[in-house]
Amino acid sequence: MSLSWKTAFLSAWLVMGFWHAQMASASPPLAYLIEVEQIEQSLDSFEGALTPQVTEAPKRLQKLIEREPHSAPAYAAAAHYLLFVGYKDGWPGFGTNGADATTALLDAAQKADPDYCESFWLRAQLFIALKKVESAWQPIRRARSLACADPQIDVVAARISNAQDDAVAAERDFLKVLDRGPGPDSRSRSAFSTAATDYGSLLYALHRFDDLRRHIERWEKSGQVFAAWTNVNAARQLLLIGDFEHSQRLSQTTLTVLDLPAARMQRGIALYGLAWAAEISPRNPASVASTLSLARQYLPDESVAAKTLADAPCCQAPAWKTLLSRHMKT
């Protein structure tokens, strides 16, 4: 699983830890559990920045697996790493590609502890990634029967419903997570921001734009400024529905935290949108010029912005069509 593949999926997936996980009957040593726990925290907080904690995670997990081969947490954390950070070469001894290695690691976790909570939602997530959506319900049902407290279970359940076009069930599960709030720990925050991302996408797909605006405002008030990819997705949705000013500010939030190329591009598109909107309904020409100048700093090629907006709900009026076609390169 390549890093770029991961990046594409980060908006939809997020990470988990294991702090609610149930231990195997013979508990592994505390030092082992704490080390896995710390790695899980870094995976929960992963937003695309390859910090030393993230880059060193595979080596540390491999050692933990070798040290405690009959314990589930390190296997599950390794699967977590593969699913959310990416690893095109798989995992040594478990498979040479991401899907095979993740499956084998989750099998090993299940063998070590059949009731280990994290492995259930990770397996369901893997099924979604492999487009085996119907199979994804089984581990979620099992996790729920065990009353696993991991909030990612509701998030993944919502994703399965969403993938099966059951918007009502998906919305119910997303809201279950969002109504609980972000929580203080990395796992809860991760589940909260993942649910926020996916719920925004669902509202956008359903063309419930007013609900989407309200959802994004609520998200912003939650103060989860470090969830860069949730901001990236929200900023994209806002620019597509024509809330350019709000969108560019949200991208700016992301860029304050993490210099993501996607956020730079989106801020550029939103700024072009702002300037072009002012051209259509002229305001202050000086402001148009300075906005365009700023837009070019983020996205030099204005045709990219024009092409993005040409298909968006914001810009289907004839005046927009004419303006955008002028800015598109042939």
Enumerate residues 42-81 that contact another protein by CB under 8 A. Answer: none
Contacting range for another protein; rule: CB under 8 A; set: 123-131, 140-148, 181-189, 304-312: 181-189
C-beta closer to another protein: residue 96 or 256: 256
CA distances (Å), origin 187, targets 45, 50, 101, 156, 168: 8, 19, 23, 13, 25
Contacting range for another protein; rule: CB under 8 A; set: 64-72, 84-92, 252-260, 311-319: 252-260
172 binds another protein (CB under 8 A): no
Determine which residue in the list 164, 220, 258, 327 makes contact with another protein, applying CB under 8 A: 220
Least Å distance, CB 54 to another protein, is 17
271, 298 in Cβ contact below 8 A? Answer: yes
| Closest of 26, 49, 23, 53 to residue 40, by C-alpha | 53
C-beta closer to another protein: residue 182 or 200: 182
Least Å distance, CB 284 to another protein, is 19
Q: At what angle do helices 261-280 and 285-298 cross, to 10 degrees?
A: 160
Determine which residue in the list 185, 208, 211, 310 makes contact with another protein, applying CB under 8 A: 185
C-beta closer to another protein: residue 37 or 100: 37
Burial class (CB in 10 A: 0-12, 13-18, 19+), 217: exposed
Contacting range for another protein; rule: CB under 8 A; set: 33-41, 115-123, 132-140, 228-236: 33-41
Beta strands in the chain (DSSP E): none
C-beta closer to another protein: residue 207 or 218: 218
From residue 253 to residue 282, the character string flagging contacts with another protein as x (rule: CB under 8 A) and all else as - is x--xx-------------------------
Question: CA angle 221-188-204, nearest 5°?
Answer: 55
Question: Do you know the residue count of the chain?
Answer: 330
Three-class DSSP category at 126:
helix
Least Å distance, CB 29 to another protein, is 7
C-beta closer to another protein: residue 190 or 201: 190
Helix (H) or strand (E) holding 199: helix 186-205
Least Å distance, CB 179 to another protein, is 15
In the Cβ-directed half-sphere of 305, how many Cα atoms lie within 13 Å? 30
C-beta closer to another protein: residue 159 or 187: 187
| Closest of 74, 90, 156 to residue 123, by C-alpha | 156
Least Å distance, CB 157 to another protein, is 23
> In this structure, what are the phi and psi dihedrals at residue 74, rounded to the nearest 5 degrees?
-70, -35
Residue type (1 letter), 55: T
The residues of the shown chain that bind another protein, judged by CB under 8 A, are 19, 29-31, 33-35, 37-38, 41, 181-187, 220-223, 225, 249, 252-253, 256-257
